[in-house]
Amino acid sequence: MSVISADPYPFDFAGPHAALLIIDMQRDFLEPGGFGSSLGNDVSLLRQTIEPTMRLLAAFRRAGLLVIHTREGHRPDLSDLPAAKKRRGHAKLAIGDAGPMGRVLVRGEPGHDIIPELYPIAGEPVIDKPGKGAFHATDLDAILKNRGVEQLIVCGVTTEVCVNTSVREANDRGYDCLVVSDCVGSYFPEFQTMGLRMIAAQGGIFGWVAPSDAVIAALESNQV
């Protein structure tokens, strides 16, 4: 057991029972020309998370702990895409439409895939999720239970959408979540701030928040 200095109070890191959950670090959200930028968003705010997440991912791999990646997207026939999600926003480029990186948020298309900097390696489960939450309509909970995971160290995008939704889902399923402040990103600075604050508020109502350096230090303390 190793202790991570975190907000709102220290997090007892239970190494073998912890997994790194990297949410939706997909080209469609992070690269210019993808779905995120087509909605008018500045992807540079999200891209700031890449370098610290690479360092954290390397530390988890060195420690031999479980790493799980998620991707938001849909079947090519869009049979798992709710009509409401397709309609929402009246976007010029909607989910399933042909965009510069293939069909938007469709599995198997280039834009749907994970950015090369954080690409999964053999043995790291990839969860394809049709919703914002990582647990909705996926086998993530079963995988975590089968591997004895009780704690999630959470990275990814975007802080207030898929990260917050997934942490709330995880919280209700009994997992302790630590959100890594510099490894989660939002297109909106105010949502980044509040998205993190609402995790740790009220004595850690949804979990803990700590920077990547604190998590890496715990991983490298040889006490995990």
The residues that are catalytic are 24, 129, 162
Can residue 184 be called a binding residue for ligand TIU (CB under 6 A)? no
Look up residue 135 and give its two tokens: 């647990």
Nearest distance in Å: CB 24, ligand TIU: 4
Look up residue 9 and give its two tokens: 């109070």
Q: Which C-beta is closer to ligand TIU: that of 158 or that of 224?
A: 158
Stretch that binds ligand TIU, among 140-148, 154-162, 200-208, 209-217 (CB under 6 A): 154-162
Can residue 162 be called a binding residue for ligand TIU (CB under 6 A)? yes
Q: Which C-beta is closer to ligand TIU: that of 30 or that of 218?
A: 30
C-alpha Rg value of the chain to the nearest Å = 17
Can residue 170 be called a binding residue for ligand TIU (CB under 6 A)? no
**Per-position b or e across 137-159, b if 16+ CB within 10 A of its CB:** ebebbeebeeeebebbbbbbbbb
Can residue 157 be called a binding residue for ligand TIU (CB under 6 A)? yes
Q: Kindly write down the DSSP assignment for every residue of 58-110, as one continuous string.
A: HHHHHHT-EEEEEEE-B-TT-TTS-HHHHHGGG-SS-TTSEEBTEETTBTTSG
Q: Which C-beta is closer to ligand TIU: that of 199 or that of 214?
A: 199
Q: Could you tell me which of 147, 139, 142 has the C-alpha nearest to residue 123? A: 147
Amino acid at 59: A
CA–CA gap between residue 21 and residue 151 (Å, rounded)? 10
Residues binding ligand TIU: number (CB under 6 A): 8
Q: Is 36 exposed, middle or buried (0-12, 13-18, 19+ CB in 10 A)?
A: buried
Stretch that binds ligand TIU, among 51-59, 116-124, 156-164, 211-219 (CB under 6 A): 156-164
CA–CA gap between residue 180 and residue 153 (Å, rounded)? 7
CB–CB of 157/185 below 8 Å? yes
Stretch that binds ligand TIU, among 89-97, 108-116, 142-150, 157-165 (CB under 6 A): 157-165
Q: Which C-beta is closer to ligand TIU: that of 195 or that of 207?
A: 195
Q: Which C-beta is closer to ligand TIU: that of 14 or that of 78?
A: 78
Positions 6 through 45 that interact with ligand TIU (CB under 6 A): 24, 29
Among 7, 31, 72, 113, binds ligand TIU (CB under 6 A): 72
Positions 81 through 120 that interact with ligand TIU (CB under 6 A): none
Contact residues for ligand TIU (CB under 6 A)?
A: 24, 29, 72, 132, 157-158, 161-162
